[in-house]
Chains A and B, each alone.
Chain A
Amino acid sequence: MMLRLIAALIVFAVPVHAEMKIQEVTSPGGITAWLVEDHGIPFTALEIQFRGGTSLDAPGKRGATNLMTALIEEGADDRDSRAFAEARDDLAAQFTFDSGTDSVSVSARFLTENRDQGVALLRSALVNPRFDQVAVDRVREQVLSGLRADEKDPETIAPQILDRLAFGDHPYASSGNGTIDSVTVLTRDDIVAAHAGALARDRIYVAATGDITAAELGAVLDKLLGDLPETGVPLPADADWLLKPGVTVQDFPTPQSVVFFGHQGITRDDPDFFAAFILNEVLGGGRFSARLMTEVREKRGLTYGIGTYLVAMDQAELVLGQFSASNDKVAQAIEVTRAEWAKIATEGITEEELATTKTFLTGSYPLRFDGNGPIANILVGMQMEGLPIDYAVTRNAKVEAVTMADVKRVAARLFQPDQLHFVVVGQPTGVTTTP
Chain B
Amino acid sequence: MLRRSGLWAIAAVGLSVPAVAETVSTFALPNGLDVVVIEDHRAPVVVHMIWYRVGAADETPGNSGIAHFLEHLMFKGTEKVAPGDFSATVEAQGGNDNAFTSWDYTAYFQRVAADRLDLMMEMEADRMRNLRLTEDDVLTERQVILEERAERTDSSPGALLSEQMRAAQYLNHPYGTPIIGWRHEMEALSREDALTHYERYYAPNNAILIVAGDVTPDDVRAMAEKHYGPLAPSDGIVPRIRPQEPPQLAERRIALADERVSEPYLLRTYIAPERDPGNQKDAAALTILAELLGGSGQTSVFARALQFDTQTAVYSSAFYDGTTIDDATFGVLLVPVPGVSLTDAEAAMDKVIADFLKDGPDPAALERIKTQVRAGEIYAKDDVQGLARMYGEELAIGLTVEDIQGWDDALAAVTAADVSAAAEKVFDRKQAVTGWLTRPEAEPAKEVTE
Contact = CB atoms under 8 A, between A and B. Distances in A.
A157 interface: yes
A41 interface: yes
Interface string A125-155: 0000000000000100110010011111110
A2 B85 contact: yes
Contact of A300 (B94, B140, B296, B299): B140
Interface stretch (B53-61, B143-151, B398-406, B425-433): B143-151
B155 A324 contact: yes
A2 B382 CA distance: 34
Interface stretch (A59-67, A89-97, A218-226, A401-409): A89-97
Interface residues of A, number: 85
B155 A256 contact: yes
A274 interface: no
A145 B372 contact: no
Contact of B140 (A2, A299, A367): A299
A253 B91 CA distance: 38
Interface stretch (A14-22, A26-34, A169-177, A240-248): A14-22
A94 B335 CA distance: 26
Nearest to B448: A151
Interface in B413-450: 447-450
A229 interface: no
A298 B147 contact: no
Nearest to A141: B314
Nearest to A149: B262
A225 B231 CA distance: 59
Contacts of B2: 286-288, 305, 307
A351 interface: no
A391 interface: no
Nearest to A41: B381
Given A85-B299, A89-B371, A145-B315, A138 B308 contact: yes
A285 to B, nearest CB: 8
Interface-central residue, B93, B383, B384, by most chain A CB under 10 Å:
B93
Given A92-B375, A94-B379, A256-B150, A1 B81 contact: yes
Contacts of B314: 141-142, 145
25 contacts: A2-B126, A3-B85, A3-B89, A10-B93, A17-B44, A89-B371, A92-B371, A145-B314, A145-B335, A151-B448, A152-B261, A157-B450, A255-B154, A255-B155, A287-B91, A298-B140, A300-B140, A302-B147, A307-B1, A360-B92, A360-B94, A361-B94, A363-B93, A366-B94, A366-B113
Interface of A: 1-3, 6, 9-10, 12, 14-15, 17-18, 38, 40-43, 45, 73-74, 81-82, 84-86, 89-90, 92, 94, 109, 111, 138, 141-142, 145, 148-154, 157, 180, 250, 252-256, 286-289, 294, 297-307, 322, 324-326, 329, 356, 359-367, 369-373
